Amino acid sequence: MDESEIIKRCIKKDRKAWDVFIQKYSRLVYWAIRKRLTASGFNSNEIDIEDIFQEVFLAILKGDKLLQLKNAKFIPGWLAMVASNKTVDFMRQKVRLSQDLVFDTPVFRDDTFEQELLSRDTVSVAKEVINTLSNKEKVIISLNLIEERTHKEVARIAGIPVNTVSTIIARTKEKLKKELKKRGIGNNI
């Protein structure tokens, strides 16, 4: 049974197709859940992961979410996002109950350089420079710096040539450096 056949039969709520679907994509869903939990710094246990795992498949079945999928070829990416989305819902629900969630911890704490980075002037220059970027450029910079994707990977995600990605990143950094120097702040940069 190929992927599109599985999806078609799952939409028709064929039990055997669902068994194949769960077996085939269980590792991917499991990975996506763990990935999101780790990225969020959420304090979870194996029972939580199992709950989310079941909830993901149940939500797809009950919400007829497979109807949303236009091309069975892209199911891994789609399924990973659904699993990740469900994980966030679970974390939100749990945090509402226990308030013990630790989201993105600050990257910088006791470093004097980092304090300089976060000074009002420096941040305002960064803001000015970043605000001049187009949305595409912002997405590129964020994928590279926040999600830590290589230039090649960013190019694949944003659908543009690698050279363009490298140029945008280098140009933004250069522009920020110049602006900071022009205003006599961030001399260490």
Q: Which of residues 95-134 bind other proteins (CB under 8 A)?
A: 103-104, 107-108, 113-114, 117-118, 122-123, 126-127, 130
90 binds other proteins (CB under 8 A): no
- Give the CA angle between residues 58, 62, 63 to the nearest 5°: 110
142 binds other proteins (CB under 8 A): yes
Burial of 179 (0-12, 13-18, 19+ CB in 10 A): middle
CB of 99 vs other proteins, minimal distance in Å: 15
Length of the chain: 189
CB of 21 vs other proteins, minimal distance in Å: 9
Q: What is the DSSP string of 168-187?
A: HHHHHHHHHHHHHHHTT--T
81 binds other proteins (CB under 8 A): yes
Of 23 and 99, CB closest to other proteins: 23
CB of 36 vs other proteins, minimal distance in Å: 7
Q: Which positions from 160 to 179 touch other proteins by CB under 8 A, shown as an x/- string?
A: ------------xx--xx--
- Give the CA angle between residues 36, 37, 40 to the nearest 5°: 85
155 binds other proteins (CB under 8 A): no
- H helix runs in the chain, sequence order: 3-11, 15-40, 46-62, 75-98, 112-117, 120-131, 135-145, 151-158, 162-182
| Cα torsion 167, 170, 174, 180: sign | positive
58 binds other proteins (CB under 8 A): yes
> To 10 degrees, the CA torsion angle through 20, 25, 27, 33?
-130
7 binds other proteins (CB under 8 A): no
Q: Which positions from 12 to 51 touch other proteins by CB under 8 A, shown as an x/- string?
A: -xxx--xx--xx--xxx-xxx--xx--xx---------x-
CB of 65 vs other proteins, minimal distance in Å: 8
CB of 94 vs other proteins, minimal distance in Å: 12
Among 6, 7, 44, 80, binds other proteins (CB under 8 A): 80
